[in-house]
């Protein structure tokens, strides 16, 4: 049984079924989620008999760590699932905190033409325990506490809605990772039905929401994001305008700037018209495109990027330029793909990992 897929109530019932007091579950969860100890034999306040039984009954780690690639501003980790798939996770070093970019799927079915993750399509969804194990294994590898989580790794989180929801609930639960809801971000390409579901969910609606917009018109968005054909821009904006937000919270619109495609001042003016009177509800992250050798797109010049930003500023829109971290190890936005050969340095040793 996968320990990380169980919530507190379920684990307490399981302890009872084994003939132990329910509070033994609380002790185990404290070791795993508070002390990041996953060796049952080290759980000193758990009865010796139970400590000996647990390895046969419960599994904590389900991902095999294959290595890590350090960069000045990020560390990219690669894991292998039990059925042989590769999963990438990126630890981002911010000025005063760490953010973990977790994957929710192996590959992605959305098909954005500028994203390397979409090249190989979707293999499968990640299970709850596979999502949470990314956090636990990276946290054990770093001395500083990870306080922020972004579902911006491989996959479309809302296409794996139930598993992402359950993993998020464990992340914010006091008995779990106890992260603030304000420090977890769900990034989506704009799946309308799932966004409506998220808007009515007690926990999910309190998380930060980032939507990959990337184009100010339906025609252009369809060209670079085929998902727009079944999730039209007009309907998407209707859902976002009505999405429940507590005071001072805003929805982030992610806009990847691609040279000579969506980066002109005319596109910026069209984006202003699209947002219209709802400018206080949104903030725009302008992300200069992260080039990938398998894709035909290029990054615009900085002058072009800042010209786009100035158009938004003049319309009193909050717009920041975000340079993705980890690009030099292919760990930035849109670059996660499980390369055929990726160089890692686990424990100071250089090795190669094949797909």
How far apart are alpha carbons 316 and 144 in whole angstroms? 37
Domain identity same for 247 and 167 = yes
Are 245 and 266 members of one domain? yes
User: Pseudo-torsion of CA 38, 44, 48, 52, nearest 10°?
Assistant: 10
pTM of the shown model: 0.90
In a shared domain, residues 76 and 28: no
Give the range of the structural domain holding residue 24, as residue numbers without chain letter.
3-57
CA–CA gap between residue 9 and residue 319 (Å, rounded): 43
Q: Which of 88, 127, 130, 206 is catalytic?
A: 88
Same domain, 103 and 200: yes
Chunk the chain into consecutive blocks of 10 residues (it has 355) and report each block's average pLDDT, rounded to whole numbers: 97 97 98 96 96 97 96 94 96 93 95 86 96 97 95 96 98 98 97 98 97 98 96 98 94 97 97 96 96 90 97 97 61 44 37 35
- For 100, the enclosing helix (H) or strand (E) is strand 98-101
Note if 333 is an active site residue. Answer: yes
CATH of the domain at 44: 1.10.150.530
Catalytic residue among 94, 130, 333, 352: 333
**Same-domain status, 129 and 72:** yes
For 223-242, b where at least 16 C-beta lie within 10 A, e where not — what string?
A: ebbbbbeebebeebbebbee
For residues 51 and 69, state if they share a domain.
no
């Amino acid at each position: 049984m996968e320990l990380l897929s169980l919530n507190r109530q379920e684990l307490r019932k399981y302890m009872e079924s084994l003939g132990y007091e329910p509070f033994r579950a609380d002790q185990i969860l404290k070791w795993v989620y508070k002390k990041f100890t996953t060796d049952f034999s080290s759980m000193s306040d758990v009865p010796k008999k139970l400590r000996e039984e647990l390895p046969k009954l419960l599994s904590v780690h389900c991902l095999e760590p294959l290595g890590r690639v350090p960069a000045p501003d990020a560390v990219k980790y690669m894991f292998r699932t039990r059925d042989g798939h590769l999963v990438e996770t990126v630890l981002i070093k911010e000025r005063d905190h760490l953010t973990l970019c977790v994957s929710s799927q192996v590959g992605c079915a959305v098909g954005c033409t500028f994203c390397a993750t979409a090249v190989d399509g979707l293999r499968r969804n990640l299970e709850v325990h596979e999502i949470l194990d990314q956090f636990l294994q990276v946290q054990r590898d770093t001395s500083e506490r990870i306080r922020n989580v972004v579902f911006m790794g491989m996959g479309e989180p809302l296409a794996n809605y139930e598993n992402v929801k359950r993993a998020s609930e464990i992340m914010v639960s006091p008995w779990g990772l106890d992260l603030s809801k304000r420090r977890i971000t769900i990034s989506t390409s704009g799946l309308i039905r799932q966004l409506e579901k998220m808007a009515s969910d007690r926990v999910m609606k309190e998380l930060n929401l980032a939507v990959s917009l990337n184009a100010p018109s339906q025609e252009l968005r369809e060209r670079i994001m085929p998902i727009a054909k079944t999730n039209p821009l007009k309907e998407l904006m209707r859902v976002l305008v009505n999405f429940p937000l507590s005071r001072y919270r805003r929805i982030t619109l992610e806009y990847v700037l691609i040279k000579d495609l969506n980066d002109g001042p005319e596109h910026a003016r069209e984006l202003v018209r699209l947002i219209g009177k709802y400018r206080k509800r949104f903030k725009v992250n302008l992300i200069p495109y992260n080039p990938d050798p398998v894709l035909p797109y290029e990054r615009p010049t900085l002058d072009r990027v800042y010209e786009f930003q100035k158009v938004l500023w003049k319309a009193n829109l909050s717009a920041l330029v975000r340079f993705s971290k980890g690009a030099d190890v292919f760990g930035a936005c849109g670059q996660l793909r499980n390369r055929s050969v990726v160089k890692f340095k686990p424990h100071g040793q250089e090795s190669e990992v094949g797909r």
